Structure 1
Amino acid sequence: MPRAVFITVALLALALRHAAAAEHVVLIVWDGMRPDFVTAETAPTLSRLAQDGVFFKNNHASYPSSTNVNGAVLATGDYPAHNGVISNHEYRPEVDALAPFDTSDFPGLDVIDSKLNARYLSAPTIAEILQKAGSRTAIAGSKPVAQLADRSRKRESDIGIHSVVVYRGKVLPRTAEPEIVAALGPFPERKTALPNVAEDQWTTRALTEVLWKSGVPKFSLLWLSEPDLTQHETSPGSPASRAAIKSDDENLARVLDALRAKNVLTTTDIIVVSDHGFSTIEQAIDMVANLRAAGFDAVREFKTPAQRGQILVVSLGASVEFYVIGHDTAVTLKLVDFLQRSDFPGVILSREKMDGTFTLAQVHLDSASAPDIIVSSHWNNRPNEFGAEGEVASDLGKGRGQGTHSSLSPHDLHNTLIASGPDFRKGWIDKAPTGNIDVAPTILALLGLKPPQAMDGRILKEALGGITAEPTATSQSLVAHRDLGEAVWRQTLSLTSIRGTTYLLEGNGQRTPNPLPK
């Protein structure tokens, strides 16, 4: 056998041996957690976990950098275009002809079409793959997004019945709800005071005290609502948001204590990830009002059946979707021209290539139901009053000085990923580009399973024991521009790839005056 082939085989064998070390994997999502807040002061338990395991310092959310998008990415290991969920809210006439819908609202979808779930989340999830292989799973989340991990409403097999899903106090299967309520009481009513301690603590206890009562399954997911909720109402780095992070840290400690009490901590891989980062709002606008003032027939929902040429505007905070009814080319071109002359955009994405835009395909959003235009807001690196860098513009809802996300800003895209356990290297910083898209294939590899179809993400082999070399990354910078006459619109997009998996680093743009003729 040639030496190079022998080394490759040996490394693969070593990786597989390490992948078999853990008997359980626990994935914990800290919603909206920025990696620069992983400190011994604010999050001592998470900080120790990072020191004991692997801190992925170059991790990235998928775009739009929002909850449901990355919930689907974490669950499936596929780009949004391939798993079918491209936004927190989408407009699909077959779901609702008049308004956008929440992509985590499975009960609402069931009312319309019980078969729609499978069509709209079109890739299998970690939990579904494990259940098909004969292993039960446990899912608990303070937000509805948790049910993206295991969406089945019908649970007829023994594995399905015992694979319980808790999502914002609701329970699947319904037969499991009485035991949870008897142990913990009803799901707490959300208070106006922040952070959202009661809901997250109840959800954590539902997992550790009830779903794990008969043993820890091969795969568990805990999705915490903080620090996202508090950062939206205040801003990143605020005293309240730091208290929210502290609350998450205490729930992480509860999970570790429960695993220790069950004598499985040493055979459990623990992965802590956030769905996205966070920014502070520099400029708040009303996109619909601006469009209507410019002569567009723009709405946030329809009162009567949609007409060709109307524009449905869907706000994602620091990104905005534009659905041009009938895909009217003239209206779409006029809309792009308007956007390139306005102050909100950082990057403009279009279904079809147009001057001064990138295509949806270039950011893996080219699904059949995608909008005609998506705009990521402009951003900068200026710090807010608490020293947290990163400002964006935002449409609707929140005001200047509050927090938001979903843009192509690195402060929204760069998120937290930390892993510790028998399979992972000890005290190591992974500087290679990684992403939320890599979590699912890595978890399946740790549990010795192959996905039924190839995933877009990669197995994070460099973070596993025995693999020492970091993978080689290929970087690329895209540029698009358009001459507007008196000015030039120019936008850029930076990305990097490893073995076919692409990570978006940042994207921004600006309008600059053309030099006056001499």
Structure 2
Amino acid sequence: MRRTTVLLSASLIALTATAASAQNAAPRNLILFVPDGLRGRIVTPQTAPAMAEVRDKGVHFKNSHSLFPTFTMANGSAMATGHYLGDTGVFSNTIFTGYTSVPAGDTVVPFIENDAVLGDIDEHFSGDYLNEETLLKMARAQGFSTAAIGKLGPTLQFDHADRGKTTIVIDDSTGGKNGVPLSDEMKDALTKANLPVATPGRGDNGKAGDAKTPGTTSANVAQQAYMADVAAKVVLPMFKARSKPFVLVFWSRDPDGSQHNTGDSLNSTTPGINGPTSMAGIKNADDNLAQLRKALDELGLSASTNIMISSDHGFSTISKESKTSPSAKISYADTPKDFLPMGFLAIDLAKALNLPLFDPNDKNAAVAADAHPKAGNGVLGKDPTKPEVVIATNGGSDLVYIPGKDRKLVDRTIKALLEQDYVSGIFVNDDLGRFPGTLPMSQLGLIGKAVTPQPSIVVNFRSWSSGCEEPTNCSVQVADTVLRQGQGMHGSFSRGDTLNFTAAIGPDFKSGYVDALPVSNADVGATAAKVMGLTQKPKGPLVGRVMTEAMPNGATPQAYAGTVKSKPAANGLRTVLNFQRVGTQRYFDTAGFPGRTLGLEAEENKKTAGK
């Protein structure tokens, strides 16, 4: 195993601190714009002119990284707090909470992109399931005006404990029974702007289709037009009138929603997420950004406002093919012949471990031999209320929990995973010991001060390129999801999923600068706090770095590349992790079994990823 160590000199650290301090003498405004699911190299002046302009005139972070698992709520927690997932405990979009969440449908594996579910989890974990201060919480404590507008779930996460008391929150649920309440001031302002006090639905964009019916061919235009209007016509003028610095988070559901539900490629991996629906989703998010920038200009706020853009993750096209999976050999009413069903990991592990399979999303009903769990999640064991194994299904990677921490059961589970051709990389909780073919979760920043239950095993699924000039733009992955082959997903350790889009422009950032250093979504959170002059008080140690090299007169540290390899399993498979490092910060390029993960070539033709 090759290790890399970086020691920054005292003078460099002093320079960094001095530059950052000088820049923050007068707090600026900040807009954090998150184009959900935007791939790092899909942005051009043709596909997304507004984002391309920010990138080219401001700072282009060309070596950017999503945190793994590459899911929305996980990376949203990193941007919201500046911490890695081992501290925030948001390991994916669906997690095992260790208790039954009623708002999530009486399940121990809630899907957490839901305001009511987030409130329930907060209540269970002493009022703050993240266990770290969020960006908006710190900002409002220092007198900033604060708002979060956009996609249900990650939007509220930026000030989840406040729940609209001070921070303005507008998401899919606004105006509904589960929505965060609006203040009378906001209701009046919306009415005066001729805007409804309830967010419109997604319409056709929300239609995912099924195995025989294509999904959407429409971007999420109407819903996001409403949110952009709220931001540009109501919130920004309101903030200007207050004459205080502000921070606005705008989380665009597109292109994520259009890429997930695309109807351009039913049961075929081409064009996949490169069809017209996905491209319309990218343009839709870009139009929202352009509207916000125009509003800043008209309000005279551009010179005092920093804009940071960072997508939560990249994106891939779904494959449902496997030659080894027992589940793919079963006939299901809703799944094409020989395709993997939703919940294939739970089904295959139940068979391999010879344990009964129950559905935690169907009142723990037993799963029949010719059926699959409704949401893919599974609890394994004789008594579903005391499970021996829990599978939280997410997409390009799944979480496996073994509540009893039985090492023999862990070993059997790993051996079963190693037999499947759809697996590419296995990460095991450090407390459970070392196992051939796997790497410890601590290598990925997944072991910290989280208060939510830690996974026992994180399973990465296979990925590859469908063939295009830029492989990360046409990544394909096996995905455990209700969505179909040819639609879109993320969550894997493919470089197509870890390579997100990051750019910045404004008074506290350089102009026309291309940053070759690795950065991550945790760095975005840490840097956002720094440019606003906010001081974080971390509980956990896994904190992102301030991207000083992107700031005028800021220090530019050095970066190094490294590789970690596990011991080979009995069948020769071993998990390999390619990473980069700046100081103590690790940036995860790719990981898995060589030859089964995009960006991680077979051993005989290995190249360094992320360059």
1:160-199 to 2 correspondence within 5 Å? 160-161=165-166, 163-170=167-174, 172-176=180-184, 178-179=187-188, 182=191, 183-185=194-196, 186-193=198-205, 194-199=218-223
Residue correspondence of structure 1 range 207-246 to structure 2 within 5 A: 207-216=231-240, 217-234=245-262, 235-246=272-283
Once residues 121 and 228 of structure 1 are traced to their aligned partners in structure 2, the CA distance between those partners, rounded to angstroms, is 24
Q: How big is the shift at 1:265? A: 0.5
Could you tell me how far apart the structure 2 residues matched to 1:416 and 1:10 are? Answer: 28
Q: Secondary structure at the match of 1:269?
A: strand
Residue 19 of structure 1 deviates from its aligned partner by: 3.9
Aligned pairs (5 A) from 1:52-63: 52-63=57-68
Q: 1:413 aligns with which of 461, 481, 498?
A: 498
Is the contact between residue 145 and residue 239 of structure 2 (CA under 8 Å) also seen in structure 1? no
1:443-491, CA deviations, whole angstroms, 9 ceiling, x for partnerless residues?
Answer: 1211222212376111100001123x6321232211114342xx31222
The more displaced of 441-450 and 163-172 is 163-172
Give the drift of 1:117.
6.4
Distance in 1, matches of 2:36 and 2:72, equals 8
Looking at structure 1, the residues matched to 316 and 468 of structure 2 have their Cα atoms a distance apart, in angstroms, of: 9
1:360-393 deviations in whole A, cap 9, x for unaligned? Answer: 2221223460222110112223337998321211
The equivalent of 2:582 in structure 1 is: 498
Aligned-pair CA distance for 1:344: 1.5
- Partner residue of 2:607? none
Contact 1:25 1:218 survives alignment (8 Å): yes
Pair 1:362-2:447 in alignment: no
- Equivalent of residue 476 in structure 1, options 562, 565, 568: 562
**C-alpha displacement at 1:434, in angstroms?**
0.5
TM-superposed CA distance for 1:422, in Å, is 1.2
State the partner residue of 1:118: 127
Partner of 1:458: 545
Return 5+ residue gaps in structure 2 as ranges.
Answer: 1-8, 206-217, 263-271, 322-339, 366-382, 597-611
Deviates most, 442-451 or 363-372 = 363-372
Q: Kindly report which structure 2 residues correspond to 1:32-181, keeping only aligned pairs within 5 A, or say none.
A: 32-96=37-101, 98-110=107-119, 114=123, 116=125, 118-153=127-162, 160-161=165-166, 163-170=167-174, 172-176=180-184, 178-179=187-188
User: Counterpart amino acid of 1:192?
Assistant: D
Whole-Å separation in 2 of the counterparts to 1:174 and 1:34: 33
Aligned to 1:272: 309
The change in CA–CA distance for 1:455 and 1:507 in structure 2 (over 3 A counts) is: closer
| Compared CA separation, residues 396 and 50, structure 1 to 2 (3 A) | closer
Partner SS state of residue 238, structure 2: coil
Cα gap change, 1:338 to 1:6, in 2 (>3 Å): closer
Q: SS at the partner of 2:573?
A: strand
* Contact 2:426–2:592 (8 Å) recurs in 1: no
Structure whose residues are more often strand by fraction: 1
1:203 is the counterpart of 2:262: no
- Answer yes or no: is the 8 Å Cα contact 1:78–1:437 preserved in 2: yes
Structure-1 residue corresponding to 2:390: 312
**1:219 CA displacement:** 1.0
CA drift at 1:188: 1.2
Kept in 1: contact 2:115–2:152 (CA 8 A):
no
Residue identity opposite 2:425 in structure 1: V
The whole-number CA distance in structure 2 between the counterparts of 1:239 and 1:451 is 43
Query: By how many angstroms is 1:511 displaced?
Result: 9.4
Alignment length (residue pairs): 501
* CA-CA distance at 1:328 after TM superposition: 2.8
Report SS of the residue matched to 2:274.
coil
Which one of the candidate residues 445, 457, 467 is aligned to 1:383? 467
C-alpha displacement at 1:249, in angstroms? 1.1
The equivalent of 2:269 in structure 1 is none
* SS of aligned partner of 1:25: strand
Q: Is the 8 A contact 1:75 1:149 kept in 2?
A: yes
Task: For 2:110 and 2:28, locate their aligned partners in 1 and report how far apart those are by CA, in whole Å.
Answer: 38
Which segment is superposed worse, 60-69 or 146-155? 146-155
In 2 relative to 1, CA 78–14 (structure 1 residues): closer, same or farther, beyond 3 Å? closer
Structure-to-structure mapping, 1:245-394, within 5 angstroms: 245-284=282-321, 285=340, 286-294=344-352, 295-301=354-360, 303=364, 306=384, 310-351=388-429, 352=432, 353-366=434-447, 367=450, 369-383=453-467, 388-394=473-479
Q: TM-score, normalised by structure 1?
A: 0.90
Q: Counterparts of 2:592 and 2:403 in 1: how far apart (Å)?
A: 27
Task: Give the counterpart of 2:481 among 396, 418, 421.
Answer: 396
Query: Using the alignment, how far apart are the partners of 1:303 and 1:8 within structure 2?
Result: 54
Local SS of the residue matching 2:562: strand
Alignment CA distance shift 1:497-1:510 (3 Å): closer
Deviates more, 1:38-47 or 1:206-215: 206-215
Q: Offset at 1:245?
A: 0.9
Residue 515 (structure 1) aligns with: none
* Alpha-carbon contact 2:221-2:284 (below 8 Å) kept: yes
Tell me, which stretches of 5 or more residues in structure 1 are unaligned? 513-518
- Give aligned-pair identity as a percent: 26
Q: Which amino acid aligns with 2:283?
A: K
Distance 1:386 1:492 in 2: 23
Structure 2 letter corresponding to 1:337? K
Tell me which amino acid in the other structure corresponds to 2:135.
Answer: I
The farther-off stretch of 5-14 and 317-326 is 5-14
TM-score by length of 2: 0.77
Shift of 1:289: 2.6
Residue 516 of structure 1: aligned partner: none
